[in-house]
Amino acid sequence: MKSQLHNGTLTIRLEGRIDSRLAPTVEIDINNIIKKSDYEQLILDAENMSYISSAGLRIILKLLKSNRNLKLIDVSSEIYEILEMTGFTEMMQVDKALKHIDVTGKKIIGKGANGVIYRIDNDTIVKVYSEADNLDHIKAEHEMSRTAFILGIPTAIPFGIVKVGDHYGSIFELINAKTFAELLQEDPSQLEFVARQTVALAKTLHETEAPEGIPRHSDVGRQWLSEAKSTFDEQHFAKLTALIEAIPETGTMLHGDLHIKNIMQYEDEALLIDMDTLSSGHPIYELACIYNAYEGFGICDPNVFMNFLSVDESVVKPLLHRILELYLDTDDEDRINEVKEKASVIGLLRVLRRILRLGEQDTPDGKRLIEECRDRIVRSIDHLDTLTF
């Protein structure tokens, strides 16, 4: 019997048939593994278990009495039906086995820090998560999508979790849907349509009050600030801290990563995807994320727009300007540049933190980029009295 102890979780893999003849041996093997292991969470992996009898169920019941957080995972439909009928699914967490999907050769339509989005066919896309052991995070993102949908925010609803190699993925059914990046690749003149739809989604989000339990984006902003502290002198760090702390908690919904690869046109509706960054806070945080996607990250790598968004700088910079123009409902260039500068302070703080997290601060390019971002932030906060608008 195979087992693995990782970060306090002991996983025991059950295999074959656990019938009345084999149950006593299986129980002895499980107990021997448990006695030798110092664990906090016990998981039984049933991916390779083909049958379980009442004697096998009694083993699980005994384990459940001494391990109240016991989980049974990767259970086949047939065995799940037995567990459901006998009441085990009400006494403990039982997860059905996941469908396996192969993304080899499939088109990548989106890529971010947390995963890659593939088009499986005209009807289906799958987001494959970067971390292999993050099922709880995926379930939390599904719940975020459900919350947004209930609140009336146009969002693609994931309808299942799958396995992709050693990783997990979320399945979305979007028949013939295209990302805004794909629309602009096919026809750059769609820029006006993309800008208007983006702003409409942003306005819908920012006019929606966040329910209890939604993460606050201000907490993320403070984390960026804390991690980038070493790059500023004491005076400018104090000024930057004061400006960020003064941003009010408006309690409005934010997407947190609103760009052309996270919006899909489905029939006559624009839908948000990649909802793991859903949060609440002042809209300046949303504009900071938009600024980074279309300008800020380009400071690190001029090719990032083509590599990340699949369109070049000649498309994304005019798109950023038009989004700000529509969002602020003004053609006043001074006003547009003022809000853009405020957004850039927060956006570039995130870029700084990214360079530091990647450990690039001691490389020639890393030092240059840190100086560039820091100097831009300092020049802005030297004359800004607030980051809000």
**Closest alpha carbon to 170 in 250, 276, 322, 282:** 276
Sign for the CA dihedral angle at 74, 80, 86, 88 comes to positive
- Predicted confidence at residue 369, as pLDDT, reads 93
pLDDT digits (tens, 9 = 90+) for 273-319: 888 899 999 999 999 999 999 999 998 888 889 988 989 999 999 99
Q: DSSP strand E in 145-241: where?
A: 160-164, 167-173, 178-179
- Predicted confidence at residue 289, as pLDDT, reads 96
**pLDDT above 80 for 133:** no
Q: 109: helix, coil or strand?
A: strand
Q: Residue type at 336?
A: I
- Predicted confidence at residue 93, as pLDDT, reads 94
CA distances from 320 to 94, 290, 292 (A): 47, 7, 10
Quickly state the pLDDT bin for 355 (edges 50, 70, 90): very high
Burial of 172-208, coded b for 16+ CB within 10 Å and e otherwise, reads bebeebbbbbbbbbeeeebbeebbebbbebbebbbeb
Mean pLDDT of the chain: 93
DSSP state of 146: H
Q: Which two tokens stand for residue 374?
A: 């820091």
Q: 361: helix, coil or strand?
A: coil
What value does the mean pLDDT take over residues 61-71?
Answer: 94
Q: Which run of H or of E encompasses 211?
A: none
Which distant-in-sequence residues (6+ apart) come within 8 Å of 362 by Cβ? none
- Predicted confidence at residue 114, as pLDDT, reads 78
- Predicted confidence at residue 239, as pLDDT, reads 97
Burial class (CB in 10 A: 0-12, 13-18, 19+), 319: buried
Rounded to an integer, what distance in angstroms lies between the CA atom of residue 311 and that of residue 331?
25
Rounded to an integer, what distance in angstroms lies between the CA atom of residue 55 and that of residue 124?
42
Q: Which residue has the tokens 């490389």?
A: 363
**pLDDT above 90 for 332:** yes
**pLDDT above 90 for 371:** yes
**pLDDT above 90 for 172:** no
Rounded to an integer, what distance in angstroms lies between the CA atom of residue 157 and that of residue 143?
10
What value does the mean pLDDT take over residues 254-260?
Answer: 96
**pLDDT above 80 for 77:** yes
pLDDT digits (tens, 9 = 90+) for 196-223: 999 999 999 999 999 988 999 999 999 9
Cβ pair 45, 3 in contact under 8 A: no
**pLDDT above 80 for 132:** no
Domains assigned to the chain: 2-97 (3.30.750.24), 107-173 (3.30.200.20), 178-381 (3.90.1200.10)
- pTM comes to 0.78
Cβ pair 361, 370 in contact under 8 A: yes
